[in-house]
Chain A
Amino acid sequence: MSAISPTASFRSAPFEAVPHALLCIMGSTQLNRLPFGVVGLSPDGLVEVYNHTEARLAGLNRDDVLGTSFFLSVAQCMNNFLVAQRFDDEEEIDAVVAYVLTFRMRPTPVRLRLLKRADHPRRYLLIQR
């Protein structure tokens, strides 16, 4: 993993390119400023990171979501072999997939970026509307 400059502009961290390692070191203020949703999950699928953008668009309170089982309580529509299963099956992932989610019960086309590294327990799901 290349070294990350501490002065890197978090605000412009692009959806397709922001690396796993950078997400890991970002503070909540920086994560909250990102224009796309960021969900960080433990290996058991429990929500460890839930940024402001995601909470606002999903219409949920961040504190209610943290610690819950993401694919059961918030995102059942991703509990399949296209998303949840991939996190279990694949050692490392960095993939962008087109998907449809149900934000506030409205079908919403989105792009998802799935991030998982073999050397780090946390998985990230980035969501761009």
Chain B
Amino acid sequence: MPSKIRRDASAKALRDENAELLQFLYACPTGLISLDAGGTMLMLNPLAMQLVLPLVRNHEVSNLFKILEPYAPELRSMLASFAPQQGTVCDAHRVFVGRGDRGDVDKVLSCTLVKLSHDRYIATLSDATLQVAQERRLKQAEAWFSSLIDGVDDFAAISLNAHGRIDHVNASVRRQTGFAEHELIGLFLDVFDAPDPASSVLSCREQVALATRDGWHLDEGWCARRDGSRQWCQRLISVCREEGDIEGRTISGFTVVLRAVTRKAADAASLKRRLTTDHLTGVSNRAHFFELAERETARCRRDGVSAALLMLDIDHFKTVNDTFGHAAGDQALKTVSAACGRALQPQDTLARLGGEEFVVLLPLTDLRRAGDVAERLRAMVAALEIVTPFGTFAVTASFGCSMLDDGTASVGVALAAADRALYAAKRGGRNRVALSEREDVAA
């Protein structure tokens, strides 16, 4: 029967077309998700699965907002406050999810969310980790160059030979640093180092090493003056190549520009603050924590020293929110983080990882001392009074400690060990401190 043959042929054509479409979606290099207004994922392609799977526990891949809640709680409210019938809710919104697959670098996802109807949304997810790292560098450069154009102050210019020793300085160097040219010739740039752990600025030698690797390095921090005082300087180190060296492999020296930052450069400082702090609590943000912790890990490896990570999580925080409201919950986060910040040393870094979870980076600290610090913070938090317009209450927090040392594979691995210890503290009844087993940290 010709009509049956035609039907079969068209059914096969449809099947093939369907298979082709599926293959197209399976191979798509961007994550695609279709979801309803509550965040339930109706469909997702393999790349979307690959990106969300590391963020879920127990393979519960069902609700996108729930999965991203610890990292981007704002997604839900952005969607709720989006009034139009359809349109783009957010475009390439950055979500810092940390802890890559193997816990190496701070991972960043880029999420675009489009409303199709009141209960149908489509989202794209992609990995923006590299892009974000590049942008951070560009933003620094932008802040630097815009301040160069705006400012009319002096620039101290110093040239270094291929070994990093000072071989020439301009006249402004004396005005800005107090050193005469003959006092500087032959010295390393270290002469301007003004160690200040609180600002976590790299040493001059580390900055020269970075410039060697990248071609240039830009930083901001304290610079020592001859009279022992210090001033806040922007510092650009760029590499000079041999002339005619097309490959650009041989370094003939470096040019260093130092510029004292005055009020005119407050823009750069506020940009830096915006990039590094958590909006609600004012402590370091997740991205900044990973940056500092990576640097600390490198230092541990290089110098054979150790540092400690201390994770803390406010107990029964959901109950606080449910009982007193989210505004009171926010106040609790602010009170606890401010009190912890005051109790720590200037070289320590307190950061908010997300939700009610914080982390403290303690340089040059062993596990036992970290345990003591945690115990001190625990007692202090438990004694705090959280005063809000919705009532006054108390909270407790649980703590997990782990180590960073020359055997630590990555920040993510150490953080996961601290997280396991924190979980043990929670399981042990909360309002307590648990230390990670040493074996856990060395991966």
Which residues of A pack against B, CB within 8 Å?
58-61, 64-65, 72-81, 98-102, 104-107, 109
B47 pairs with A59, CB closer than 8 A: no
Q: Which of B30-76 contact A (CB under 8 A)?
A: 32, 34, 41, 43-50, 53-54, 59, 61-62
Stretch binding the partner chain, chosen from B14-22, B248-256, B355-363: B14-22
User: Which of A73, A99, A107 is close to B23, meaning CB atoms less than 8 Å apart?
Assistant: A73
A105 pairs with B59, CB closer than 8 A: no
A100 pairs with B53, CB closer than 8 A: yes
Give every chain B residue within 8 A of A79 (Cβ-Cβ): 50
Can you name the residue of chain A whose Cβ is closest to the Cβ of B18?
A: A59
Interface secondary structure of A, over-half rule? mixed
Give every chain B residue within 8 A of A58 (Cβ-Cβ): 22, 26
Query: Is B152 part of the binding interface, using a Cβ–Cβ cutoff of 8 Å?
Result: no
B45 pairs with A100, CB closer than 8 A: no
Q: Which of B349-397 contact A (CB under 8 A)?
A: none
CB distance from B125 to the nearest CB of A (A): 12
Query: Is B198 part of the binding interface, using a Cβ–Cβ cutoff of 8 Å?
Result: no
A72 pairs with B27, CB closer than 8 A: yes
**Number of inter-chain CB pairs below 8 Å:** 76
**Sample (23) of A-B pairs whose CB atoms are under 8 Å apart:** A58-B22, A60-B19, A60-B23, A61-B16, A64-B20, A64-B23, A74-B26, A76-B29, A76-B47, A76-B49, A76-B50, A77-B46, A80-B53, A81-B102, A98-B59, A99-B59, A100-B59, A101-B49, A102-B48, A105-B43, A107-B49, A107-B61, A107-B62
A77 pairs with B27, CB closer than 8 A: no
Q: Kindly list the 5 A-B residue pairs having the minimum CB-CB distance in the complex, ordered from nearest.
A: A77-B49, A77-B46, A105-B43, A76-B46, A73-B27
A102 pairs with B46, CB closer than 8 A: yes
CB distance from A46 to the nearest CB of B (A): 15
Known contacts being A77-B49, A80-B101, is A60 close to B41, with CB within 8 Å?
A: no
Give every chain A residue within 8 A of B18 (Cβ-Cβ): 59
A107 pairs with B41, CB closer than 8 A: yes
Give every chain A residue within 8 A of B143 (Cβ-Cβ): none
A107 pairs with B44, CB closer than 8 A: yes
Q: Quick one: which of B26, B34, B45, B48 has the most chain A CB within 10 A?
A: B26
A74 pairs with B43, CB closer than 8 A: no
A74 pairs with B45, CB closer than 8 A: no
A106 pairs with B43, CB closer than 8 A: yes
In the assembly, what is the distance between CA of A51 and CA of B346, in Å?
62
Give every chain A residue within 8 A of B44 (Cβ-Cβ): 102, 105, 107
User: Which of A64, A80, A105, A106 is close to B50, meaning CB atoms less than 8 Å apart?
Assistant: A80
Known: A58-B26, A80-B53, A105-B32. 13 other contacts (CB 8 A): A59-B19, A60-B22, A61-B19, A73-B26, A76-B26, A77-B53, A79-B50, A81-B102, A98-B59, A101-B49, A102-B44, A105-B22, A107-B62
Query: Is B265 part of the binding interface, using a Cβ–Cβ cutoff of 8 Å?
Result: no
In the assembly, what is the distance between CA of A37 and CA of B160, in Å?
64
Query: Is B128 part of the binding interface, using a Cβ–Cβ cutoff of 8 Å?
Result: no
Can you name the residue of chain A whose Cβ is closest to the Cβ of B42?
A: A106
Give every chain B residue within 8 A of A104 (Cβ-Cβ): 22
Known contacts being A59-B19, A105-B44, is A76 close to B27, with CB within 8 Å?
A: yes
CB distance from A77 to the nearest CB of B (A): 4
Known contacts being A100-B53, A105-B25, A107-B62, is A75 close to B46, with CB within 8 Å?
A: yes
Can you name the residue of chain A whose Cβ is closest to the Cβ of B56?
A: A100
In the assembly, what is the distance between CA of A109 and CA of B50, in Å?
14
Can you name the residue of chain B whose Cβ is closest to the Cβ of A73?
A: B27
CB distance from A74 to the nearest CB of B (A): 5
In the assembly, what is the distance between CA of A60 and CA of B102, in Å?
32
